Amino acid sequence: AQTVTQSQPEMSVQEAETVTLSCTYDTSENNYYLFWYKQPPSRQMILVIRQEAYKQQNATENRFSVNFQKAAKSFSLKISDSQLGDTAMYFCAFGVSSGDKLTFGTGTRLAVRP
């Protein structure tokens, strides 16, 4: 069974600053995907970024980037130039290539201060 751990229940960052959210996972699978999802107060879950385990290069999407350390089973999300609209719950999630079940962490509530 897979587990996903997010050790930071809440974080706060000043607008325009950079923040890093942590995530670790445990699995015996070799092929898998990792995701960061954002859930704003409106509740719609939105995919922020994804990483395939077989890719060594860290994924980036505009202001969002990950630091994927496969050996350490670590998958952190860096948000650069934080904006007020980044205020949300962020969930780290794990998915196996051949299936649809996602295992989620407990989430990190991020507040961006003006």
Partner 1 sequence: KAGVTQTPRYLIKTRGQQVTLSCSPISGHRSVSWYQQTPGQGLQFLFEYFSETQRNKGNFPGRFSGRQFSNSRSEMNVSTLELGDSALYLCASRRAGLLNNEQFFGPGTRLTVL
Site for partner 1 in 35-64 (CB under 8 A): 35, 37, 42-47, 50
Residue number with CB closer to partner 1 (14 or 62): 62
Distance CA 14, CA 84 (A): 9
Q: Measuring CA to CA, which residue among 37, 39, 56, 58 is closest to residue 48? A: 37
State yes or no: residue 21 binds partner 1 (CB under 8 A): no
Residue with tokens 């996972």: 25
**CB distance 103 to 112 below 8 Å:** no
105 binds partner 1 (CB under 8 A): yes
Q: Rg for the chain (alpha carbons), in Å?
A: 14
Size of the site for partner 1 (CB under 8 A): 23
The region of 8-16, 20-28, 31-39, 66-74 touching partner 1 under the rule CB under 8 A is 31-39
Residues forming the site for partner 1 (CB under 8 A): 33, 35, 37, 42-47, 50, 91, 95, 97-107
